[in-house]
Amino acid sequence: MPSRKKTTMFASAFCTCVSSFVVICAVLATQQWVSSEVRFARTNTSVTISLQYGLFGGTCEQFVEAGLQVSSQTFQVADSLSSTKTKSTNDAIIVLLVLSLLTSLLSSGFTCTNAVSNPYQTFLGPIGVYTWNSTCAIFILIAMILFPVNTEANSLSEELAHGCSTSLQTHLQTVHNYGYSYWLMLLILLLNIASIIIIYFYDHARYSKKKEQERPIENAPKDVILF
Any domain includes 151: yes
In a domain, 222, yes or no: no
Q: Which domain holds residue 130?
A: 4-206
Query: CATH no. for residue 27?
Result: 1.20.140.150
Residue 77 vs residue 221, higher pLDDT: 77
Q: Kindly state whether residue 142 falls inside one of the protein's structural domains.
A: yes
**pLDDT tens per residue, range 53-102:** 999 999 998 887 665 667 788 999 988 888 889 999 999 999 999 999 99
What percentage of the chain has pLDDT greater than the value 70?
Answer: 87
Asked whether residue 157 is domain-assigned, the answer is: yes
Q: Is the pTM of this model over 0.75?
A: yes
Is the per-residue pLDDT at 224 higher than 50?
no
Q: What is the pLDDT of residues 172-212, one digit of tens each?
A: 889 999 999 999 999 999 999 999 999 988 877 766 666 66
pLDDT averaged over the chain?
Answer: 86
User: Please, where are the H alpha helices in the chain?
Assistant: 4-29, 77-80, 84-116, 126-148, 156-164, 180-219, 222-226
**Based on the structure, what is the number of domains in the chain?**
1
Contact 71, 61 (CB under 8 A): yes
Three-state secondary-structure class, residue 197: helix
